[in-house]
Amino acid sequence: MQFDKDKAGRTLNKKITQLKGKSYISVELIELLDQVARLQLEARGTASVTLPPEETLAPAEDVLRGAPLVTREHFPHDQAQAGELLHTLIALLIKAGGPLGQAAKAVDAAIASDELTPADLFSRFLSDDAAFFASWAERTPDAPKAVAFLAFAALSPGIEAAAEALAPMLPSMKAPEVGTCPICGSLPLISSLKQKEGFRHATCSFCRHDYRIRRIACPVCGEDDQKKLTFFTVDEKPGFRVDVCETCKTYIKTIDFRNLDRISLPVFDDLDSLALDYVAASQGYRRATLSAWGF
């Protein structure tokens, strides 16, 4: 499906309206992420990506067995656009102040002194360089995820554009045996139930590709013994549930808005259901990925 900026903008407007007034999410955070999302929306419409040669993509039989079409490390993106967006996001966070603003100042100073270049930052993020981001977490202890947030937020428009262009190259498949994204191999951010049959879909935590996964199976470890899989809901959050796996002790939140008059926007649905993360953590479960915004 081709990206429709106007439709995406209307969806974002409705979702932000729904989020405002939530007692467990600060107005300042909603406003900041709203600004970030709008900058990304504008960039998404102009992102230019070059896809890898078709012969370098994983063959269909490998994708059907769980291999990604393209690895995250080599994922196409618009580096020039990401560099411009990075500087805009740094300025936005500095203006917002607080721990995020202080972290953004540290990144800005590192770039100005040539200690860090945007290209290096993006490369470190794409290769999932845990040591690099851990060192920055030590430098910005009050906002340990800020540097990764900046990198991902700047890269996302190009990454999403590339995923959209790569999706038609996927082989026809129903729900694969593995729960990882068939395009980039990343784990799901959140899942949702769709259509009257309740098909389960996942939103990729990296490229945001929407893909079908098995309804009764852990997308992290593949456990499909129903005795080891369960879920819980919270009355205050209708339309959300938390699917947990007793084998790997992970959880994934699932959206079911089929009978509710609610707009679904996965990255903000993840924020909207933040209270469920606290409940799951208090019961000894962990999420396999960071939140949509890197928290």
Q: Are 79 and 151 in the same domain?
A: yes
Residue-level pLDDT at 185: 96
Domain-located, residue 177: no
- d(Cα 16, Cα 100) in Å, to the nearest integer? 21
Helix (H) or strand (E) run with residue 189 in it: strand 188-194
Residue at 180 is within a domain: no
User: Is residue 293 situated within a structural domain?
Assistant: no
pLDDT for the residue numbered 175: 67
Q: Are residues 158 and 212 in the same domain?
A: no
Question: Are 12 and 89 in the same domain?
Answer: yes
Burial bucket for residue 259 (CB in 10 Å: 0-12, 13-18, 19+): exposed
Displacement of CA 185 from its chain's centroid (Å): 13
Q: Which pLDDT value is given to residue 295?
A: 66
State the total domains in the chain: 2
Residues 238, 113: one domain?
no
Residue 293 pLDDT: 83
Instruction: Specify whether the CB–CB gap between 208 and 94 falls below 8 A.
Output: no
Would you say residue 183 lies in a domain?
Answer: no
Dihedral sign of CA atoms 93, 75, 2, 211 in order:
negative
Torsion of CA 2, 37, 291, 66, to 10 degrees: 20
- CA-based nearest residue to 103, from 55, 51, 139, 50: 139
Residues 193, 154 share a domain: no
Same domain, 261 and 152: no
> For residue 51, what are the domain limits?
5-169
Residues 21 and 165 in one domain: yes
User: Same domain for 58 and 145?
Assistant: yes
Whether residues 119 and 223 share a domain: the answer is no
Q: What pLDDT score was predicted for residue 262?
A: 85
Among residues 140, 169, 198, which one ends one of the domains?
169
Final residue belonging to a domain, choices 142, 169, 196: 169
Residue ending a domain, choose from 117, 142, 169: 169
pTM higher than the cut 0.85: yes
Instruction: Tell me the one-letter amino acid at 26.
Output: S
Question: CA-CA distance, 122 to 143, in Å (whole number)?
Answer: 19
Asked whether residue 123 falls in the same domain as residue 266, the answer is no
CA-derived radius of gyration, the chain: 19
> Is residue 164 in some structural domain?
yes
**Same domain for 159 and 128:** yes
Alpha helices in the chain (DSSP H): 5-19, 27-44, 60-64, 79-96, 98-112, 118-126, 130-139, 146-166, 266-272, 274-282
Q: What's the pLDDT at 31?
A: 94
pLDDT tens, residue order, the chain (295 aa): 578 888 999 999 999 988 887 777 888 989 999 999 999 999 999 999 999 999 999 999 999 889 999 999 999 999 999 999 999 999 999 999 999 999 999 999 999 999 999 999 999 999 999 999 999 999 999 999 999 999 999 999 999 999 999 999 999 877 677 899 999 999 999 999 998 888 999 999 999 999 999 999 999 999 999 999 999 998 888 999 999 999 999 999 999 998 888 889 999 999 999 889 999 999 999 999 988 887 6
Picking from 209, 212, 261, 255, the residue whose alpha carbon sits closest to that of residue 231 is 255
Shared domain check, 165 and 269 = no
Helices 79-96 and 118-126 sit at what angle, rounded to 10 degrees? 100
